[in-house]
């Protein structure tokens, strides 16, 4: 069970041929390199001076880096921006946790994270226990005879984050966002999306998945014949769930996923599923208000459970128990899980080192303890003040841009400006840290610690169901390399984890800070007005605040963006889904425009810059592109194209700059060239 937020930024081309045109002059990078700073040399080294910025800006800005970069064997991708920051942060957290495990002293917080991390690193003890920790759960599953017992067991599994049958969460009520609401939604699939079960193109992946499930049942003690039969049962059951699941594109519409019912209403929708038994098993029998995000799925789930032999349901639950417990079990389970999810599905060649997994799990379940130690080292000085000024300038640029939008009327414009004016910006780290009192952690039981952490997290959120929303809460930890806009609170959160080089540094030229981190800021601010965010008003309420004719004109412009990105091919025969990625693409297009406007405003108040032979405005665009330089395995690229609401990095760069006329002006691109087409999509 988890908390949901609106789609997050930052996991995150069909280039038009223009023969016969004279390429624009290249920046004379070779002559400048020996004289520039280490920062400048790093920027120049990533550039391919032989590439034409007006034909393919990503190739120009990233070509030098792409020519030398290699994907590490334990990853399916590497990037100049995100990977660099993530790896650096990971090393910082690693050192903190190693020290805490070795000698926490008298510090209770250090002792807690040290014990959690130390138990996770004790692979000898974990391997010695094998699958024995699963025994009580397997016995409970085997004893299920009716749907009353089934729902009770599912409830107890959901508490420890085994999200079998369906997903669940707590988040603000869309229509009354000052109160939290329990939500249930479609789920229960082991493959990334419903389409993997239903499309012929995914037949090979399905076969590999079924073999993976069989291999896991072998580890549970099955013989070959029984393991194959059980795997077939799981895939058959999950395929039935996929058939009643909504496509990802439809889940992007908050109107589609808001259906508030009381408990009786949910029970009437699913007469064969005793919800009271589930709520009692979770320890929250008095919950009465529920958002049933996908009613059709639950009607289908109800029918599926009613017609499926209970023995087959046992098999499905057993699979989900071992699959979702992988991180707490020994080497054999870890290796088998990596072989499918890491290698087959994503293209990584080696499993991640144990310490990296343990760092991640400690951050997952003791995040605010670890975050305090991280922030002390990595977000000091006047970083926060500089970031605050940047976001204020970016928001000011968006407001100024709204005044020039011919497709908006004055009434809607006034409401949009009012919404922009009350966005809450949270930067670096929360004002109030979470309290982990009641979470018991030992030095010698990794399985117990992980399950205790999951249960603590679940109850943390369930305690808030039907209670007032706590406006101080963050839905990411401070070391996280990411950012998000939350429409239900009309807030933007920028963790300290992403506010690191090459995205941000207090000593960087402002062109780099605005090109990388400023664009992240512009992206998130624009999310408040993309095709999802625009449906929430200034108070975070799902409400129609646009004049009808203005909403129609917005959709016309959004459709231009959808069509543009649908034309980008990430692999031969594999295109981006312009509908799935619409919100993120709109945010990218708005983000680059308003970050650039903010930078020009800063220059007007200060002075122009030059680094490594690049003037400030060129450096802005290069900084943006180089934060996205990425190598991915074909397997990951294919999966992301099907499931990720963010476009592939190359097209996040080329798509954004090609639709922003100022880019073409700065780089001297001829009108009609790929990066400066005659007509462009503009929403914000």
Is residue 73 in a domain? Answer: no
For 520-562, strand residue ranges (E) read none
Write out pLDDT tens, residues 98-139: 999 999 888 888 999 999 999 999 999 999 999 999 999 999
Residues 521 and 630 in one domain: yes
pLDDT for 2 beyond 80: no
pLDDT for 37 beyond 90: no
Is residue 282 in a domain? Answer: yes
Mean pLDDT value across residues 345-357:
96
pLDDT for 223 beyond 90: yes
Residues 242 and 389 in one domain: no
pLDDT for 20 beyond 80: no
Which residues, 6+ apart, have CB-to-CB distance to 367 below 8 Å?
434, 477, 478, 479
By percentage, how much of the chain surpasses pLDDT 90? 90
| DSSP letter, residue 262 | E
Residues 314 and 385 in one domain: no
d(CA 21, CA 40): 30
- Of the listed ranges 71-75, 274-278, 378-382, 655-659, the least confidently predicted one is 378-382
Is residue 158 in a domain? Answer: yes
Is residue 453 in a domain? Answer: no
Is residue 397 in a domain? Answer: yes
Mean pLDDT value across residues 71-80:
96
The two most distant CA atoms of the chain are separated, in Å, by 78
d(CA 265, CA 244): 20
Residues 280 and 392 in one domain: no
Residues 57 and 136 in one domain: no
Is residue 485 in a domain? Answer: yes
> In whole angstroms, how far apart are CA 553 and each of 273, 398, 441?
44, 19, 55
Q: Does residue 619 contact residue 513 with C-beta atoms inside 8 Å?
A: no
- Count CA atoms closer than 13 A to 475's CA, side-chain side: 25
Residues 552 and 628 in one domain: yes
Write out pLDDT tens, residues 159-216: 999 999 999 999 999 999 999 999 999 999 999 999 999 999 999 999 999 999 999 9
Per-residue tokens: 207? 């076969």
Per-position b or e across 606-641, b if 16+ CB within 10 A of its CB = eeebebbbbebbbbbbbbbbbbbbbbbbebbbbbbb
Residues 319 and 386 in one domain: no
* Residue span of the structural domain in which 265 resides: 132-328
Residues 293 and 388 in one domain: no
d(CA 361, CA 365): 6
Write out pLDDT tens, residues 356-414: 999 999 999 999 999 999 998 888 778 888 999 999 999 999 999 999 899 999 999 99
- The catalytic residues are 524, 588
Q: Taking phi first (over 0 means left), then psi (-120 to 50 degrees means alpha), and beta for anything else, what does residue 596 get? A: alpha
The dihedrals phi and psi of 250, each to the nearest 5 degrees, come to -70, -30
d(CA 508, CA 164): 47
The dihedrals phi and psi of 659, each to the nearest 5 degrees, come to -100, 5
Tell me the sheet residues that pair with 186.
Answer: 166
d(CA 36, CA 42): 10
d(CA 407, CA 415): 14
Alpha helix (H) residue ranges in 103-122:
108-121
pLDDT reported for residue 8: 29
Question: Model pTM?
Answer: 0.91
pLDDT reported for residue 496: 94
326 class by beta-carbon count within 10 Å (0-12 exposed, 13-18 middle, 19+ buried): middle
d(CA 375, CA 479): 8
CATH number for the domain including 213? 1.10.1380.10
Residues 53 and 139 in one domain: no
- Count CA atoms closer than 13 A to 85's CA, side-chain side: 27
d(CA 271, CA 186): 17
Nearest to 74 by CA among 345, 354, 350: 350
pLDDT reported for residue 286: 94
d(CA 288, CA 251): 24
Q: Does residue 229 contact residue 676 with C-beta atoms inside 8 Å?
A: no
Residues 525 and 391 in one domain: yes
pLDDT reported for residue 380: 73
Is residue 116 in a domain? Answer: no
Q: How many domains does the chain have?
A: 2
Tell me if residue 382 falls in helix, strand or coil.
Answer: coil
Residues 305 and 403 in one domain: no
CATH number for the domain including 606? 3.40.390.10
> In whole angstroms, how far apart are CA 277 and each of 152, 154, 186, 465?
5, 10, 19, 18
Measured in residues, the chain has a length of 684
d(CA 581, CA 565): 8
Is residue 361 in a domain? Answer: no
Mean pLDDT, the chain, rounded, equals 93
Residues 409 and 262 in one domain: no
> In whole angstroms, how far apart are CA 470 and each of 96, 179, 464?
29, 9, 9
Tell me the sheet residues that pair with 492.
Answer: 425, 485
Mean pLDDT value across residues 300-307:
98
> In whole angstroms, how far apart are CA 442 and each of 106, 287, 454, 643, 659?
16, 32, 15, 38, 55
Q: Does residue 362 contact residue 370 with C-beta atoms inside 8 Å?
A: yes
Higher pLDDT, 30 or 674: 674
Q: Determine the distance from the C-alpha atom of residue 566 to the mean position of all C-alpha atoms in its chain, rounded to a whole number.
A: 21
Which residues, 6+ apart, have CB-to-CB distance to 25 below 8 Å?
668
36: pLDDT confidence band, cut at 50, 70 and 90? low
Which residues, 6+ apart, have CB-to-CB distance to 353 below 8 Å?
74
Nearest to 319 by CA among 437, 188, 474: 188
d(CA 594, CA 522): 6
């Amino acid at each position: 069970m988890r908390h949901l937020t609106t789609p997050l930024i930052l996991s995150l081309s069909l280039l038009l041929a223009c023969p016969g045109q004279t390429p624009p002059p290249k920046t004379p990078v070779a002559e400048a390199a020996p004289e520039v700073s280490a920062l400048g040399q790093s920027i120049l080294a990533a550039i391919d001076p032989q590439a034409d910025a007006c034909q393919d800006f990503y190739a120009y800005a990233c070509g030098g880096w792409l020519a030398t970069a290699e994907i590490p064997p334990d990853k399916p991708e590497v990037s100049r921006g995100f990977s660099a920051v993530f790896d650096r942060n990971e090393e910082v957290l690693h050192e903190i946790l190693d020290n805490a495990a070795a000698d926490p002293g008298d510090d209770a917080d250090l002792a807690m994270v040290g014990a959690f991390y130390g138990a996770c690193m004790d692979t000898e003890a974990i391997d010695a226990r094998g699958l024995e920790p699963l025994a009580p759960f397997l016995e409970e599953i085997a004893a299920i005879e009716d749907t009353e017992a089934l729902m009770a067991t599912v409830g107890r599994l959901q508490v420890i984050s085994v999200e079998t049958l369906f997903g669940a969460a707590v988040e603000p009520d869309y229509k009354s966002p000052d109160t939290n609401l329990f939500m249930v939604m479609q789920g229960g699939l082991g493959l990334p999306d419903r389409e993997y079960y239903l499309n012929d193109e995914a037949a090979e992946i399905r076969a590999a998945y079924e073999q993976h499930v069989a291999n896991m049942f072998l580890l549970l003690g099955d013989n070959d014949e029984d393991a194959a039969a059980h795997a077939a049962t799981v895939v058959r059951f999950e395929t039935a769930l996929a058939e009643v699941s909504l496509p990802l594109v439809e889940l992007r519409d908050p109107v589609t996923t808001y259906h508030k019912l009381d408990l009786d209403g949910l029970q009437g929708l699913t007469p064969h599923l005793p919800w009271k038994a589930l709520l009692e098993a979770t320890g929250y029998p008095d919950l009465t208000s529920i958002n049933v995000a996908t009613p059709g799925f639950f009607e289908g789930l109800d029918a599926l459970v009613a017609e499926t032999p209970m023995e087959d349901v046992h098999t499905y639950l057993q699979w989900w128990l071992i699959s979702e417990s992988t991180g707490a079990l020994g080497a054999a389970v870890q290796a088998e899980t990596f072989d499918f999810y890491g290698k087959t599905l994503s293209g990584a060649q080696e499993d991640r080192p144990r310490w990296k997994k343990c760092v991640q799990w400690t951050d997952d379940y003791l995040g605010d303890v670890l975050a305090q130690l991280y922030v002390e080292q990595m977000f000091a000085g006047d970083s926060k003040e500089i970031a605050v000024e940047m976001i204020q300038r970016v928001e000011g640029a968006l407001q100024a841009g709204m005044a020039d939008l011919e497709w908006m009327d004055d009434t809607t414009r006034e409401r949009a400006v009012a919404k922009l004016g009350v966005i809450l910006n949270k930067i670096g780290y929360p004002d109030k840290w979470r309290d982990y009192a009641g979470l018991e952690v030992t030095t010698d039981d990794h399985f117990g610690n992980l399950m205790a952490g999951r249960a603590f997290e679940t109850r943390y959120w369930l305690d808030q169901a039907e209670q007032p929303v706590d406006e101080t809460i963050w839905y990411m930890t401070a070391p996280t390399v990411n950012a998000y806009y939350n429409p239900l609170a009309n807030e933007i959160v920028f963790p300290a984890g992403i506010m690191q080089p090459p995205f941000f540094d207090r000593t960087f030229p402002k062109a780099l800070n605005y090109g990388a981190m400023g664009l992240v800021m512009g992206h998130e601010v624009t999310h408040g007005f993309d095709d999802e965010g625009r449906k929430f008003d200034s108070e975070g309420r799902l409400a129609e605040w646009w004049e009808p004719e203005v909403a129609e004109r917005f959709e016309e412009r959004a459709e231009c963006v959808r069509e543009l990105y649908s034309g980008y091919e990430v692999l031969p025969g594999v295109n981006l889904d312009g509908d799935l990625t619409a919100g993120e693409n709109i945010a990218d297009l708005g983000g680059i425009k308003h970050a650039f406007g903010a930078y020009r405003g800063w220059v007007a108040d200060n002075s122009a810059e030059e680094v490594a032979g690049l003037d400030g405005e060129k450096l802005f665009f290069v900084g943006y592109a180089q934060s996205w330089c990425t190598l991915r395995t074909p397997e990951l690229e294919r999966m992301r194209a099907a499931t990720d609401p963010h476009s592939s990095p190359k097209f996040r760069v080329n798509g954004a700059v090609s639709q922003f006329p100022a880019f073409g002006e700065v780089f001297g691109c001829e009108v009609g060239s790929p990066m400066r087409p005659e007509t462009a999509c503009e929403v914000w």
